[in-house]
Homo-oligomer: A and B are copies of this chain.
């Protein structure tokens, strides 16, 4: 007779525990296919429990196909219920949970610092509370697939005022981060042909295209941005660029080259993805007009994100599709649900409409500019001054520092790491080797620790 100690059932009910015990015996082959189970009454008496307990357990086993009931004869173990343990090779074990390095650096040019510093959290929290109170249960309903119309209207207004882009809210698609939008773009534009990506450039975009089955081609970047002749020669169908502040070189593409690339795109069924990732942080002059605003009906898809200008945990990005692509988008991708919760969308719409975003950006520009100046001054005052040159300091949250050194980048990076400096080299963003771009640091200055900068620079100059 089956014997199980029902007292060992822990937090399970008696019937559930009994069900599990019998199931295990079947699965492990201790009860063979065709074998008859004891009658409900007999097993209940044997285990000192109610008949109903056994009845429930048997019913469950039957419902799941472990046993079969035959009329007037009782329950029998079903055929095929025994588990033949699949042989899974013992591969590498899982990486440890949250394996975040906790090493502290004298200088960390990769960390980027607390990216949410300066964010007006109390304003945001207040707007969230107001959204909760005022919208109430309406927050539970899904927004349109391309985002809540309130948010798209707020974005459209801002784009018009700040970037000269006259887009209708219907052209805007809101999604949970730029990475997600890159995924959508591959699905919209298709995998045929090749995508050109800037070299050096933002490697994550290229990586996402590739992992989505798209072939990418590196397009060299010179002092004016992506080179049109190279675009032409590379025979790409889609070109992903950041003409307004190229990452990481900081180049601003002049108007003639913009026109040349727009002409190239208009010649065939080609597309330009204009990544305007950090246009908010320009320190001199007005923002540069976007490709989209130069050619509002052209084949340009404009993209930008709030994750960078607000906080990393808020995954809200958007793209502006040309009007002639909307019907296709709607038909092919309109079935997707919007990936950003309604709560965040309505809160951000308010944050934009009430001017908090502009105030935040103004404050952050002052903050970053003074941080940048402090880093530049520290460099000028250090022994490094005679052995380096600064580029691209007029916009964005990084600048370039060309070092006068005989060491190659890898060696220097390794030496630096041994001495507590975590450096970031321009060559790390290069897809193809380019000697002209070596010996150049990408200085993400918001993360630099000003107090220890003097010491760090003194160490660095020793390593050159």
**A211-B332 CB under 8 A given contacts A64-B288, A180-B180:** yes
Q: How far is the CA of A337 from the CA of B204 in the complex (A)?
A: 11
Q: Which of B19, B66, B176, B257 contacts A339 (CB 8 A)?
A: B176
A294 part of interface (Cβ distance < 8 Å): yes
**A86, A139, A335, A343 — most chain B CB neighbours (10 Å):** A86
**A168-B94 CB under 8 A given contacts A211-B332, A255-B66, A265-B86:** yes
Contact code string A242-258 (vs B, CB < 8 Å = 1, else 0):
00000000001111110
**A312-B78 CB under 8 A given contacts A86-B298, A170-B94:** no
Q: Which of B65, B136, B265 contacts A255 (CB 8 A)?
A: B65
Instruction: Tally A residues with Cβ within 8 Å of B.
Output: 110
| A254 vs chain B, min Cβ distance (A) | 3
Q: Is the CB of A266 within 8 A of B88?
A: yes
Q: Which of B64, B132, B338 contacts A125 (CB 8 A)?
A: B132
Q: Is the CB of B140 within 8 A of A95?
A: no
Q: Is the CB of B88 within 8 A of A299?
A: yes
| A70 vs chain B, min Cβ distance (A) | 16
Q: Is the CB of A341 within 8 A of B324?
A: no
A236 part of interface (Cβ distance < 8 Å): no
Residues of B within 8 A of A63 (CB): 252, 285, 288
Q: Is the CB of A97 within 8 A of B169?
A: yes
Q: Is the CB of B313 within 8 A of A342?
A: yes
Q: How far is the CA of A285 from the CA of B78 in the complex (A)?
A: 19
**A256-B80 CB under 8 A given contacts A139-B313, A213-B191, A313-B341:** yes
Is chain A's interface secondary structure helix, strand, loop, or mixed overall? loop
**A204-B335 CB under 8 A given contacts A86-B295, A169-B97:** yes
A87 part of interface (Cβ distance < 8 Å): yes
Contact code string A1-27 (vs B, CB < 8 Å = 1, else 0):
000000000000000100100010001
| A220 vs chain B, min Cβ distance (A) | 19
A166 part of interface (Cβ distance < 8 Å): no
Q: Is the CB of A116 within 8 A of B89?
A: no
Q: Is the CB of B86 within 8 A of A266?
A: yes
Q: Which of B60, B85, B142, B180 contacts A176 (CB 8 A)?
A: B180
A233 part of interface (Cβ distance < 8 Å): no
Q: Is the CB of B59 within 8 A of A285?
A: yes
Q: For chain A residues 127-144, which have a beta carbon within 8 Å of chain B?
A: 128-129, 132-133, 136-137, 139-144
Q: How far is the CA of A16 from the CA of B161 in the complex (A)?
A: 12
**A27, A59, A65, A149 — most chain B CB neighbours (10 Å):** A65
Residues of B within 8 A of A180 (CB): 176, 180, 339
**A64, A169, A265 — most chain B CB neighbours (10 Å):** A64
When all copies of this chain in the complex are counted, the total is 2
A263 part of interface (Cβ distance < 8 Å): yes
Residues of B within 8 A of A132 (CB): 125, 128-129
The chain B residue sitting closest to A210, CB to CB, is B187
The chain B residue sitting closest to A88, CB to CB, is B297
A45 part of interface (Cβ distance < 8 Å): no
Q: How far is the CA of A342 from the CA of B116 in the complex (A)?
A: 13
A218 part of interface (Cβ distance < 8 Å): no
Residues of B within 8 A of A133 (CB): 125
Contact code string A370-413 (vs B, CB < 8 Å = 1, else 0):
00000000000000000000000000000000000000000000
| A33 vs chain B, min Cβ distance (A) | 9
A449 part of interface (Cβ distance < 8 Å): no
The chain B residue sitting closest to A336, CB to CB, is B179
Contacts A82-B259, A94-B323, A211-B332 aside, 13 further interface pairs with beta carbons under 8 A come to: A27-B294, A65-B256, A81-B259, A85-B295, A86-B295, A94-B168, A95-B170, A121-B137, A125-B132, A141-B312, A187-B212, A315-B341, A341-B344
A residues with a Cβ closer than 8 A to B are 16, 19, 23, 27, 59-60, 63-66, 78-98, 114, 116, 119, 121, 125, 128-129, 132-133, 136-137, 139-144, 149, 168-171, 176-177, 179-180, 183, 187, 191, 204, 207, 211-213, 252-257, 259-260, 262-263, 265-266, 285-286, 288-289, 294-295, 297-299, 307, 311-315, 322-324, 326-327, 330, 332-333, 335-344
- Give me the 8 closest cross-chain CB pairs, A-B, nearest first: A65-B254, A86-B266, A80-B256, A116-B140, A140-B311, A176-B339, A94-B326, A142-B312
